Amino acid sequence: MEKNNLQDQIDDYLRYRQIERGLSTNTITAYRQDLEEYLVFVLKEGMTSWPTEANDVDAFLARQRDLNKSTSSISRMISSMRKFYQWLARRNIQKLNPMLEIDLPKKERRLPIALSQKEVTQLLAQPDIHKKLGIRDRAILETLYATGMRVSELINLQLQDLHEDLGLIRVLGKGSKERLIPISPVALDWIIKYQKQVRDSQILKVGRSEDHIFLNSRGKMLTRQAIWQMIKKYCQMAKITKDVTPHTLRHTFATHLLANGADLRVVQEILGHSDISTTQIYTNLSQKQILEVYHKTHPRL
């Protein structure tokens, strides 16, 4: 079987996942990356069809570990390959499934990094709000911290998603699942300020209609990379030394809510987690926090 046939099978499978299963573009991109890495391995080994032996799959995964891929990345890759082999079997392309003998690696139980309230205050103070770009960036940071939404969800926000009178915002999450979540008056005020002082004049200037709330300097939808670069820049300006990622404000939002007494189920709904165990990771308080609470609340101390 030639390379093109194997590549065509990946393409057909991903079209099926996107059209019939309704998976998001980001998920499809992740699947493609995993399967095409597997394809490179298969071709380098001189194979003309997908491996049917678990030993071959183990050899591929061992190479991934040699490349210092994280446990979570390898787990995702195994999951992608499992689904792909199941599809191959259903389509009668290949019946033998070596993934049945492949176990997921044990999860690394790493606590997500979160900013302190002081660090959040420092971060929010960095954009120059005397400039239009600064107003937009402040509105973005306030929105991320006020809602805990993903960066991909933020860049896809549209004008009709904002319900000012109710203090709610509509978010389109993973798998195109909708949810209505609260947004703080402070963040809402910054969005409105951005719309009136920056966005409206920008739209007039470029002479183009655009429904997305947050726009770049050309009046077009922002990218995830642009948001990430912006956050990284402001973290450096705020002298925040933690390893901040695009998800850090989401982690910070959840951590601060739970630390201040929010119900776990409520936080789960706001974050859009389908499984509450994903939310429970934020309940792991540090030993220092536990001791502080103990000394403050125990009546015999």
> Which of residues 74, 101, 128 is at a domain's end?
101
State the Cα–Cα distance between residues 93 and 210, nearest whole angstrom.
44
Instruction: Write down the pLDDT at residue 286.
Output: 46
* pTM over cut 0.95: no
In terms of phi and psi (left: phi > 0; alpha: psi -120 to 50; beta: otherwise), the region of 228 is alpha
Mean pLDDT of 6-34: 90
* Residue 122 and residue 38 share a domain: no
* Residue 135 and residue 240 share a domain: yes
* Residue 122 and residue 249 share a domain: yes
Percent of the chain with pLDDT over 70: 94
State the Cα–Cα distance between residues 186 and 206, nearest whole angstrom.
29
The answer to whether 44 and 57 are in contact (CB under 8 A) is: no
* Residue 125 and residue 49 share a domain: no
* Residue 183 and residue 121 share a domain: yes
* Residue 123 and residue 236 share a domain: yes
State the Cα–Cα distance between residues 201 and 227, nearest whole angstrom.
22
* Tens of pLDDT, residues 200-248: 988 888 777 789 999 998 889 999 999 999 999 999 999 999 988 878 9
Q: What is the mean pLDDT of the chain?
A: 89
> Which of residues 52, 72, 101 is at a domain's end?
101
* Residue 94 and residue 212 share a domain: no
* Residue 136 and residue 8 share a domain: no
Which residues have a catalytic role annotated?
150, 174, 247, 250, 273, 282
Domain assignment present for residue 74? The answer is yes
Domain assignment present for residue 171? The answer is yes
Q: Using CB atoms within 10 A of its CB, is residue 272 exposed (0-12), middle (13-18) or buried (19+)?
A: buried
Per-residue pLDDT at 94 exceeds 60 = yes
* Tens of pLDDT, residues 237-272: 999 999 888 789 999 999 999 888 888 899 999 999
Cβ neighbours for 139, distance < 8 A, ≥ 6 positions apart? 187, 190, 191, 193, 194, 214
- Name the pLDDT band for 36 (thresholds 50, 70, 90): very high
Within the chain, strands assigned E span: 162-163, 168-172, 178-182
Per-residue pLDDT at 289 exceeds 70 = no
Domain assignment present for residue 299? The answer is no
The answer to whether 198 and 206 are in contact (CB under 8 A) is: no
* Residue 287 and residue 141 share a domain: yes
Q: How many domains does the chain have?
A: 2
> Which of residues 101, 126, 144 is at a domain's end?
101
Per-residue pLDDT at 288 exceeds 60 = no
**Bigger pLDDT: 110 vs 159:** 159
* Residue 259 and residue 147 share a domain: yes
* Residue 222 and residue 178 share a domain: yes
Domain assignment present for residue 278? The answer is yes
- Name the pLDDT band for 290 (thresholds 50, 70, 90): low
Per-residue pLDDT at 87 exceeds 80 = yes
Domain assignment present for residue 149? The answer is yes
Per-residue pLDDT at 1 exceeds 60 = no
**Residue 265: which CATH number?**
1.10.443.10
Residue 236's domain spans which residues?
A: 117-292
